[in-house]
Structure 1
Amino acid sequence: MKNPFLIISFVFIFLFSFSMLLGNLVYSQTPTDKDEYLHPANKEKVVDETVDEFYQALRDLKYPIHQEVYQTYKQKPKQQQRHLNTVLFKEMPGASVNVRKKLLFNEVERLNYITFDGNILRTYPGIDINYHQTVSPDRQVYFFYSFKDTEKEFRGNYAIYDVETKEMLAGGSTYMPKLNLIK
């Protein structure tokens, strides 16, 4: 005779799985103009600060929010600290390209760089604005982008800061070694 415990376990797993399939359905919703954003549209607002002035203020920790970020960074143990240039954006020394722009959040997607790693074409930074649903597409942002593309590797970092609040909305860095192709 078969083990009754195994039979009961299989029945329970089947019924649980089936009930999860028939349970409450979740519907995804894309933002519309009527939606409320954590960072609402501000494309009509005039901001006198240039992108270069903001970059210098960021490096000098002029704004309280950047001082707070820096203090939090310094309080973490060394093992948990990320590179400071990722926390507060800094252009790479000897970079192939440095981009500093003030634009609308929905225009960020057009500023991708395509590189070939010897296997496939990759885009960087590959930002999908639909992923950041708390930010209105018509929100003014500062976009910083710095990368070095050589025959052996690709290194890049980027950051997106809100024009009004001065806080980082998105950012990251990457390292990609390139394959040596036989010519």
Structure 2
Amino acid sequence: MREVRWASVEGEGIEHLAFDAHEDGVLVESAVVGQRYGKAYGLYYRLRCDPRWRVTYAWLKIVGGAELELHGDGEGRWRDGHGLMLSTIEGCIDIDIAATPFTNTLPIRRLQLAEGEREPIPVAYISTPELQVTRVEQAYSCVELNREYRYEGIFRQFTANMRVDEDGLVIDYPTLFTRLPRLR
């Protein structure tokens, strides 16, 4: 089990994430305290991924507010916590939780891009603190293998180069997040 923390660069906010990757998959638990568009929130989320870094389960809870549960089959088909199909995000293998840099790790690890390679992908974007799920277009490019990747939020004309560590966890996401020093 590995633990990391990120601080928000654009305002008040911090995330504490516990991450455990092993041969049968990845487990993640995290707590985020932040603000978005002037609204403060607390978010707890839990994710499970298969060994190929495809999300199979996501549970998110806003403290005192909304809750969201998603079940994915790893092939782009999703159901909510009641078993209902979510056709609006069909074809999306990855999720992007607005409040965290962690979900950038999912396509970085899953796509296994070669240096200089770029891949546009549909993503299930989860807004924070509303926890509304929408389909968006993004792209990832490998700038330097296992060290730097470019994220393109095609849906909002935003681009940033992110430095990552050996696990694909973001170290620095310019204008949004920076990782805090290791816990002692």
TM-score band, normalised by the shorter chain? under 0.3
Structure having the higher helix fraction is 1
Normalising by structure 2, we get a TM-score of 0.27
Structure having the higher strand fraction is 2
Normalising by structure 1, we get a TM-score of 0.27
- Which of 1 and 2 has greater Rg? 1
